[in-house]
Structure 1
Amino acid sequence: MITLTRLNGKSFTLNALYIETVEAFPDTTILLTNGRRYVVKETMDEVDSLTLSFFQKANLLSMPHEGGSIS
């Protein structure tokens, strides 16, 4: 989950697994796989950074094991 801020200043958490696209219109707009859109105060770069951090913490972007298979 990532914490974002709506344009009215209220914070909310969003499951980053469901993010399909992030665009700037100029406000940052996040489109989820279910079709819902969220407009947030964070920049596209900030959303990208938060999402990357979430995936790393969830171990979804790990490096492949070096040195052969794990036994």
Structure 2
Amino acid sequence: MIVVTRLNDSQFAINPDLIERIHASPDTTLVMVDGAKFIVTEGLDEVIEKIARFRAHVISLAYLTSDEDYSSGARPLEIVSGPHAIEDPTGPGTVQPQRPRRL
């Protein structure tokens, strides 16, 4: 989530993955995938920078998290090769490509 500011100076968090487009004429308007619009005080460049920092943070968490953090049974984040790869249940850490569904 990124934190942005409304014109009345109240702040709110928004999921940047749900932003469809951003307009900056004259106020910065976030247009969401569901059609909702939010006018914010941050400029276009600042919103884009916040989104980039958010995504970089998520990726860094995937790389920096140690396996010890998952001793409670939670699965660690991992980068999977190939566009349709899933973890192979026959062995830990092995990757097996998925087959496309037949309709």
Shorter-chain TM-score tier: 0.7 to 0.9
Partner SS, residue 58 of structure 1: helix
1:57 to partner: Cα distance? 1.1
Which of 1 and 2 has greater Rg? Answer: 2
Which runs of 5 or more residues in structure 2 are unaligned?
A: 60-78, 80-93, 95-103
Q: Which residue of the partner structure matches residue 45 of structure 1?
A: 45
Structure 1-normalised TM-score?
0.81
Q: Which residue of 1 aligns with 2:24?
A: 24
Structure 2 SS opposite 1:31: strand
Measured against aligned partners, the alpha-carbon deviations of 1:40-61 in whole angstroms (never above 9, x if no partner) come to: 00000000000001111111xx
What is aligned with 1:68? Answer: none
Report the number of matched residues.
62
Bigger shift: residues 16-25 or 38-47: 16-25
TM-score norm. by structure 2 comes to 0.56
The ranges of structure 1 where at least 4 consecutive aligned residues each deviate by more than 4 angstroms after the TM superposition are none
For 1:9, the equivalent position in structure 2 comes to 9
Cα deviation 1:6-59 (Å, max 9, x = unaligned): 000000000011011011120000001111000000000000000001111111
The answer to which structure has the higher strand fraction is 1
- Quote the sequence identity (%): 36
Cα distance between partner residues in 1 of 2:53 and 2:16: 10
